[in-house]
Amino acid sequence: MTPILELRNITRIYGEGDNRVIAVDSVTLSLNRQEMLLIMGPSGSGKTTLLSMMGCILRPTDGEVIIDNKVVSDSDEDMLPDIRKQYFGFVFQSFNLFPSLTAVDNVELILRLKKHDRKKLQADALRLIERFGLAKRGDFYPSDMSGGEKQRVALARALAGDPPIILADEPTANLDSKTGLDVLRHLKGLAVEAQKAIVIVSHDPKAETMADRVVYLEDGKIKDK
């Protein structure tokens, strides 16, 4: 089976001259369907930069990003939103939910963005929310939810529109260990049951035990351990 996503010799350099930082240095990496890949490494090692390039949010300075056998790293700027829409769900450290939307509406928003069938918007948003154990929280605003609940809404949102890849940057960093574990289990579930490819950036030792594969990053390079 071909990988859903491949990085070939990918490099990202920030700044110029004295401020030049090689955040990611010639990384080659592939991601398989139904796989949960964990990226670990010290702060500043380039994890977020790498994840952003995987998600077509950030352009590599050099190298190729290949999704579903198509080279996308040289796509027009104009094409990138549609690529992201089609292939990716994102989960953030600080949830990034719309404070003025309820849990269900936060999910419905993404369904609308992805031009989901109009008649099924609300039902499908609700189903996604329920899938993450939030049946009773659908009408709650983010300000009335716990961190774990918010991150589960974010998972439901990432899954909206059924993208094949979900990228999560330190999804448990703002959660206590128990709710963090819960969120990781849900992510694992997405890989196993929903056949998603999952990439998690995390320092969390619990993630290490759950991941199918772990990649260590140091100074922008993959390190064997």
Partner 1 sequence: MYWLALKTLFHEKGRLIITLIGIVFSTVLSLTQIAMYLGMMGNATSILRHVDADIWVAAKNIQNFDFANPFPEERINRVNAIPDVVWSDKLILTWGFLKLANGGQEQVQIIGFNPDSGIDVPWNILAGNPEDLKSGRYMIIDKTAEQRVGRLELNTIWELNEKRFKLVGLSEGIKSFTTSPIVFMSYNQAQGFMTMTGRKSNHASFIVARLKDKGLSRDVAETLKVSLKDNDVFTKKDFIYKTVMYWTVQTGMGMGFFLTAILGLIVGGAIVGQTVYANTMEHLREFGTLKALGARNSDIYKVIFAQTGISAVAGYTIGSVLILLAKDGIEKAGVSLYLSAGLFLSLFFVILLTCLLSAYFSVRKVRTLDPATVFRM
Ligand X SMILES: Nc1ncnc2c1ncn2[C@@H]1O[C@H](COP(=O)(O)OP(=O)(O)O)[C@@H](O)[C@H]1O
Residue 10 interacting with ligand X (CB under 6 A): no
Residue 48 interacting with Mg ion (CB under 5 A): yes
Residue 53 interacting with ligand X (CB under 6 A): no
Q: Where are the alpha helices (DSSP H) in the chain?
A: 47-54, 80-87, 103-113, 121-131, 147-159, 177-192, 205-210
Q: Which one of ligand X, partner 1, Mg ion, none interacts with residue 46, CB within 5 to 8 A by kind? A: ligand X
Q: Which residues contact 157 (CB under 8 A, 6 or more apart)?
A: 89, 97, 106, 107, 109, 110, 128
Closest to ligand X by CB, 46 vs 55, is 46
CA 88 and chain centroid, separation: 7
Q: Which helix H or strand E contains 101, and what residues bound it? A: none
Q: In the complex, what is the shortest distance from the CB of residue 221 to partner 1, in angstroms, rounded to a whole number?
A: 20
Residue 21 interacting with ligand X (CB under 6 A): yes
Cβ atoms of residues 129 and 103 within 8 Å = yes
Q: In the complex, what is the shortest distance from the CB of residue 62 to Mg ion, in angstroms, rounded to a whole number?
A: 21
Q: Which one of partner 1, Mg ion, ligand X, none interacts with residue 109, CB within 5 to 8 A by kind? A: partner 1
Residue 202 interacting with Mg ion (CB under 5 A): no
Cβ atoms of residues 169 and 194 within 8 Å = no
Closest to Mg ion by CB, 48 vs 73, is 48
Cβ atoms of residues 10 and 62 within 8 Å = yes
Closest to Mg ion by CB, 48 vs 179, is 48
Binding site for ligand X (CB under 6 A): 14-15, 21, 23, 41, 43-49
